[in-house]
């Protein structure tokens, strides 16, 4: 059994230690907000926070998360209150298809936790590892800057 904390809750999973964390989150724990994109950690759709650091869950084995804290997009906001970035993305109508948004939200939340008042350039850099096929990056940047206000 592998023990880890997911969105503040202690969990045990009986998966093979080599199972990708993404598969455990989606298949075993039912947390489907984190998406499969490229499978090699390059697109950002699968990003989660692992001990506060943005991490590609598609190529992170379960064993690497043992005893650590994982935060998925479902865990960004405590209770019924949205995270400021989630609220700003809705208010700015920044999403389009939404496939990349969970990873973008994770990257933006990590940036704001480290740098509460980032510059536009800092936001662009923080979101550089997140690919969006719909082309809404400018709207996402605007929403992250709004969340920082």
Where are the strands (E) in the chain, listed by range? Answer: 2-6, 9-13, 47-50, 53-56, 69-71
Q: What is the pLDDT of residues 64-92, one digit of tens each?
A: 999 999 999 999 997 889 999 999 999 99
| Tokens 């479902």 -> residue | 74
Question: Do 64 and 97 reside in the same domain of the chain?
Answer: no
Instruction: Write down which residue in 56, 75, 94 finishes a domain.
Output: 75
**φ/ψ (deg, to 5) at 110:** -65, -40
Residue where one domain finishes, among candidates 24, 44, 75: 75
**Residues 91 and 114 reside in one and the same domain:** yes
Question: Residue 85 is encoded by which pair of tokens?
Answer: 């970035």
Of 75, 94, 120, the one marking the end of a domain is 75
Tens digits of residue pLDDT in 15-40? 999 999 999 999 999 999 999 999 99
Give Dmax over CA atoms of the chain in angstroms.
44
Q: What is the mean pLDDT of residues 114-142?
A: 95
Q: Do 139 and 100 touch, CB atoms closer than 8 A?
A: no
Full residue range of the structural domain in which residue 142 is found: 84-148
Task: Give the full edge-to-edge strand order of the sheet including 53-56.
Answer: 9-13, 2-6, 69-71, 47-50, 53-56
């Amino acid at each position: 059994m592998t023990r880890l904390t997911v969105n503040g809750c202690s969990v045990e999973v009986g998966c093979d230690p080599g199972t990708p964390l993404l598969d455990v989150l989606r298949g075993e724990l039912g947390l489907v907000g984190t998406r499969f994109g490229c499978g090699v950690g390059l697109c950002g759709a699968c990003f989660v926070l692992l001990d506060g650091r943005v991490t590609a869950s598609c190529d992170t084995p379960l064993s690497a998360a043992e005893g650590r804290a994982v935060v998925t997009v479902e865990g960004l906001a405590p209770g019924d209150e949205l995270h400021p970035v989630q609220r700003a993305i809705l208010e700015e109508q920044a999403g389009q298809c939404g496939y990349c948004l969970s990873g973008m939200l994770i990257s933006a939340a990590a940036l704001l936790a480290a740098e509460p008042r980032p510059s536009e350039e800092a936001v662009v850099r923080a979101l550089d590892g997140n690919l969006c096929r719909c082309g809404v990056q400018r709207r996402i940047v605007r929403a992250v800057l709004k969340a920082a206000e």
